[in-house]
Amino acid sequence: MKKKLLFMLIFMFEVSLPAQSIYQHSIGGIGCTMWGVSYKTFLSDHVALSLDFGNQFVQTGGEDWPQVDVYSIELNPNLMYEFSSNSRLHSLIGAGVTLGYNWEMGIWHIWYSGGTRDDYKYLGNGMKAGANVIAGLEYLFKIPLAVQLDFRPGYGVFIKNNVRWHHFDWNVCLSVRYVL
């Protein structure tokens, strides 16, 4: 039932919007919670693939459970469906994955040891993996410039030997790209 409803909604958007090629490729930078480079290409009139490569600092935890501090360099490909409300403003929704390498992974082990904030355990380097959804807006200027603002909530896990740290992985991103 849910699949039929989703298919009907996508079909309604396809029928109600005229077919248009927004642009073919764009390249630029990405900032906010992730800093790096961004490349976007359209696979069809409304389906786009975005590849973002950059670094991020993640800090998870709270007062009563361990806090993990991680620096990571990661690749975040997202497959998106874009539809427009006018010729310049486009809405987007989709999903993606995160693959990366993290370093200086440390954990405040207050919860484990009953210690203080000075009790910090260095866990070393490791890998990062995750999945996310993406929703946002993209604006095309009259010059060959596209600006995209999006929110990417997701699930992430840091992996180091037998230590796995699961967390709510999120990004708020502003991309500025030159349209090729």
| Residue-by-residue DSSP string for 114-155 | ---TT-EEEEEEEEEEEEEEEEEEEEE-SSSEEEEEEEEEEE
pLDDT in tens, the chain (180 residues): 656 555 555 554 444 444 456 899 999 999 988 999 999 999 999 999 999 999 998 777 655 556 677 888 999 999 999 998 788 999 999 999 999 998 766 665 444 455 555 555 666 788 999 999 999 999 999 999 999 999 999 999 888 777 787 888 888 999 999 999
* Domains along the sequence of the chain with CATH: 2-179 (2.40.160.20)
The model's pTM is: 0.78
